[in-house]
Structure 1
Amino acid sequence: MAGAFSQDWEPVVIRKKAPNAAAKKDEKAVNAARRSGAEIETVRKAAAGSNKAASSSTTLNTRKLDEETENLAHDRVPTELKKAIMQGRMDKSSHNLNLLRFLINEKPQIIQEYESGKAIPNQQIIGKLERTLGVKLRGKK
């Protein structure tokens, strides 16, 4: 049985490639040209190596705000919704702010913003509130 298993004790070395090997070669070539007195023309690329093009695409809500000419504000929680949330929480007297926050897994500031009408409506949060409070908050009653 002792000869059935053997271990290989030879060291294994794993190395990564040198970072930016091509950039170092370019730097060396530019420095050599400068030392020889040759004229060097460099071009700086505007967004090279960044992800600005992907992040500059506008979302649906910001595009609506850009196209809007008169009212430049995000949608806020309607008065009916904020009253329904407060009424649902009062009906379930055991649901204080901290318990409701725990049950829907959101920050207490979010619930306060919904009840004060300052929040931007999020259908996922409204759905969580509906399930937890047992009140219909969306659509016709």
Structure 2
Amino acid sequence: MSDIVKKYNAGTNHASSGINAKRIEEDEEGIRVPELKASVPQAIQRARVNLKMTQKDLAAKIYERQSVVNDYENGTAIPSVAILAKMEKVLGVKLRGKDIGHPIAAPAHK
């Protein structure tokens, strides 16, 4: 028969790990979550509709889930440069920087 020994604070969060919860909370207040500019969701939806694409079609072309496209069009997504770049390429409109919603200029040929 084996002896069972209960370790002090085993399986609880009562042990002191030296982390000050108040300090963590104060640090998190300074973190700013990036947000989509208000014009980006409208530009995505307008370009997608002009191309006669559904959200599902766009999602398939950028290799993302339909819910990702939906979140971007609703303005609830945390913006990702990679996803915005893929959408720009498929939709042919600027979604980053200046001139959001304007067509992407074709590269000049020599």
Instruction: Quickly name the TM-score band, shorter chain normalised.
Output: 0.5 to 0.7
1:81-129: CA deviation from partner (whole Å, max 9, x where unpaired): 1111011111101x11111111000011010000001000000000000
Query: Are residues 104 and 66 of structure 1, via their aligned partners in 2, closer, same or farther at CA, if it must alter by over 3 Å?
Result: same
Bigger Rg, structure 1 or 2: 1
Q: What fraction of aligned residue pairs are identical, expressed as a percent? A: 31
Partners of 2:29 and 2:43 lie apart in 1 by 32
Corresponding residue pairs, total: 85
2: distance between equivalents of 1:80 and 1:110? Answer: 17
State the alpha-carbon separation in 1 of the partners of residues 62 and 86 from structure 2.
6
RMSD across aligned positions (CA): 3.2
Q: Cα distance, 1:139 vs. partner?
A: 1.5
CA distance in structure 1 between the partners assigned to 2:77 and 2:89 by the alignment: 19
CA distance in structure 1 between the aligned counterparts of 2:42 and 2:91, rounded to whole angstroms: 13
Higher helix fraction: Structure 1 or Structure 2? 1
Q: Distance in 2 between matches of 1:116 and 1:64?
A: 29
Match of 2:87 in 1: 129
Uncovered stretches (5+) of structure 1, i.e. residues with no partner: 1-62
- Hey, what's the Cα distance between the residues in 1 that align with 2:38 and 2:48? 16
Residue 74 (1) aligns with residue 33 (2)? yes
Query: Shift of the alpha carbon at 1:66?
Result: 3.6
Q: Which residue of 1 aligns with 2:61?
A: 103
Deviation >4 Å, runs of 4+: none
1:89 to 38, 48, 57: 48
1:64 and 1:96 map into 2 onto residues whose CA distance is: 41
**Structure 2 spans left out of the alignment, 5+ residues:** 1-25, 100-110
Give the structure, 1 or 2, with the largest relative contact order (CA under 8 Å, sep 6 or more): 2
The structure-2 alpha-carbon separation of the partners of 1:101 and 1:64, relative to structure 1 and needing over 3 Å to count, comes to: farther
**Superposition TM-score, scaled by structure 1 size:** 0.49
- 1:1-141 equivalent positions in 2, closer than 5 A: 65-67=28-30, 74-93=33-52, 95-141=53-99
